[in-house]
């Protein structure tokens, strides 16, 4: 049974996923996806899909599944210095198998530490440039004798097909009405990789799951996009998923990527490649209306994640991203649930919900008959005594229902809120006085 909205803690799912050694493809990543599916509202039918290693994915290849049975760095006498069993960040992700005794000169190039956070273990990965290495606190690195020999043990395995990379997807939205236009889908993407780290990137997972519950509890209205959720390892996950489902790309109208959103830094909006598409304008308006400071960047101007995949040529789904970055604990063992704020996670979820609801329910109204509509005849006249602002705006709204402008643009032009404007326009559609058309993904609209 799903917990009510007021009692759900977004940090709970982060705390459950945090301990897992989540890399591109491994048993812990699959475990994380199963946890997400179990926490997802049943109406979304969240499912896990595995794409076999070696599968061609556009210009990429799906990597092998990576499993570590044991990995440690020790003195020659056996005393351990860094152990994967204590923290998976001690091992450079996707390290090759090694079992030998080495000198300091041989070992040093394979050791990594953080100058900025000397007490923390940094996260280092070598997904495609295969080597091996260990990560440790700088104070440990500094204390290691240079005249000793060291034992390096990495018992790792790279598994090919049928093993592979797993993703999870789900869809929530209003059922298509008979004869209605296909409004396509809005995609929300979040990453599940980054072993033993929380803000990066599974806070985005927590926000996406919370959004799903809110959409299940208060569904989108008719003539809205469905909302597709994608949980995947960074970059290669969305590439593999979309390359495997090319027909889906044509249905995607807009998107949002979210992660690193649980700390106190202000939210940063990174616009889509379209720059002034409806999703860009709506995201900016939602953040402005929230009344808190935020930063805004052009596409690819800030930190880049799977929104880059969606914005790229051949995919071309206008996708914005929301992050609270940079933050001090980034890519280190200090990125733990303790640094997260439930209030900031919930604040992010509110912003994401408003962006997704507005963009997904936005449409282009086109009147079906010329001239002014006889409002009273159709029960559409608005009483100036009870709704003065809408009464003043109703003629302006009708003038703009010309099939060239979306509801969001109309609401801005007439000075009304989006939901109030949409509700009024939707009554024209219900009475057959206008048609609701999908917003194209090659905007902007006037």
pLDDT at residue number 443: 59
- Binned average pLDDT, 10 residues per bin, the chain of 446 residues: 68 98 98 98 97 98 97 97 98 98 98 97 94 98 98 98 97 72 92 97 97 97 96 98 96 97 98 96 98 97 96 97 97 98 98 98 96 95 94 96 97 97 97 95 58
- Distance (Å, rounded) from C-alpha 163 to C-alpha 29? 13
Q: Name the residue with tokens 């009510």.
A: 4
pLDDT at residue number 8: 87
Contact by Cβ (8 Å): 211, 188 = yes
Element (H, E) at 323: strand 319-323
Instruction: Give the pair of three-digit tokens for residue 213.
Output: 């519950």
pLDDT at residue number 6: 57
| DSSP annotation string for 99-146 | EEEEEHHHHGGGEE--SSSTTSPBP-B-SSS----EE--HHHHHHS-T
- Distance (Å, rounded) from C-alpha 394 to C-alpha 162? 60
Measured over the CA atoms of residue 333, residue 337, residue 342 and residue 345, the dihedral's sign is positive
Residues in the chain: 446
Q: Name the residue with tokens 């690819």.
A: 300
- Distance (Å, rounded) from C-alpha 164 to C-alpha 75? 35
Radius of gyration from C-alpha coordinates of the chain: 25
Q: 5-63+162-361: which CATH number, 3.30.70.100, 1.10.3720.10, 3.40.190.10, 3.40.630.10? A: 3.40.630.10
- HSE-up (13 A, CA, CB side) for residue 270: 23
Taking alpha carbons only, the member of 247, 227, 257 closest to residue 318 is 257
Contact by Cβ (8 Å): 435, 181 = yes
Does the domain at residues 66-157 carry the CATH identifier 3.50.30.90? yes
Is 415 buried (19+), middle (13-18) or exposed (0-12) by CB count in 10 A? exposed
Taking alpha carbons only, the member of 44, 436, 420 closest to residue 215 is 44
The full set of domain ranges for the chain reads 5-63+162-361, 66-157, 364-437
Contact by Cβ (8 Å): 262, 199 = yes
Q: How far apart are the first and last CA of the chain?
A: 45
Q: Name the residue with tokens 């296909």.
A: 182
pLDDT at residue number 445: 46
- Distance (Å, rounded) from C-alpha 419 to C-alpha 308? 30
């Amino acid at each position: 049974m799903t917990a009510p909205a007021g009692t759900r803690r977004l940090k709970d799912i982060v705390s459950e996923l945090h301990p897992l050694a989540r890399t591109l493809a491994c048993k812990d990543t699959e475990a994380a996806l199963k946890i997400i599916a179990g926490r997802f509202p049943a109406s979304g039918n969240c499912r896990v899909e595995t794409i076999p290693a070696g599968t061609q994915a556009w210009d990429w290849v799906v990597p092998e599944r990576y499993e570590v049975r044991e990995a440690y760095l020790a003195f020659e006498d056996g005393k351990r210095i860094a152990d994967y069993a204590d923290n998976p960040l001690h091992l450079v992700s996707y390290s090759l198998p090694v079992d030998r005794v080495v000198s300091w000169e041989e070992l040093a190039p394979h050791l990594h530490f953080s100058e900025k956070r000397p007490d923390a273990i940094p996260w280092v990965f070598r997904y495609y440039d295969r080597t091996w290495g260990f990560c440790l606190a700088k104070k440990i690195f500094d204390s290691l004798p240079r005249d000793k020999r060291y034992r390096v043990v990495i018992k790792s395995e790279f598994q090919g097909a049928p093993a592979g990379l797993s993703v999870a997807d789900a869809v929530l939205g209003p059922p298509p009405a008979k004869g209605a236009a296909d409004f396509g889908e809005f995609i929300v993407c979040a990453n599940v990789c980054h072993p033993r780290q929380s803000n990066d990137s599974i806070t985005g997972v927590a926000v996406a799951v919370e959004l799903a519950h809110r959409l299940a509890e208060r569904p989108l209205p008719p003539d809205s996009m469905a909302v597709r959720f994608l949980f995947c390892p960074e970059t290669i996950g969305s590439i593999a998923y979309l390359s495997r489902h090319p027909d889906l790309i044509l249905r995607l109208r807009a998107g949002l990527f979210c992660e690193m959103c649980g700390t106190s830094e202000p939210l940063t909006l990174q616009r889509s490649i379209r720059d002034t598409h409806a999703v860009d304008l709506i995201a900016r308006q939602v953040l402005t209306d929230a009344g808190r400071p935020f930063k805004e960047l052009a596409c690819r101007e800030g930190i880049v994640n799977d929104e880059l995949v969606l914005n790229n040529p051949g995919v071309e789904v206008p996708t914005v991203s929301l992050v609270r970055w940079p933050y001090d604990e980034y890519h280190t063992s200090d990125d733990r649930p303790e640094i997260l704020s439930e209030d900031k996670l919930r604040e992010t979820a509110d912003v994401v919900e408003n962006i997704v609801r507005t963009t997904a329910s936005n449409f282009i109204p086109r009147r079906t008959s010329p001239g002014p509509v006889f409002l009273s005849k159709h029960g559409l006249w608005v009483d100036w005594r009870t709704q003065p602002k809408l009464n003043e705006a109703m003629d302006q709204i009708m003038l703009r229902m010309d099939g060239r402008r979306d509801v969001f643009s109309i609401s801005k032009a007439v000075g009304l809120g989006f939901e109030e404007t949409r509700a009024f326009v939707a009554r024209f559609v219900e009475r057959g006085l206008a048609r609701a058309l999908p917003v194209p993904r090659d905007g902007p609209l006037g």
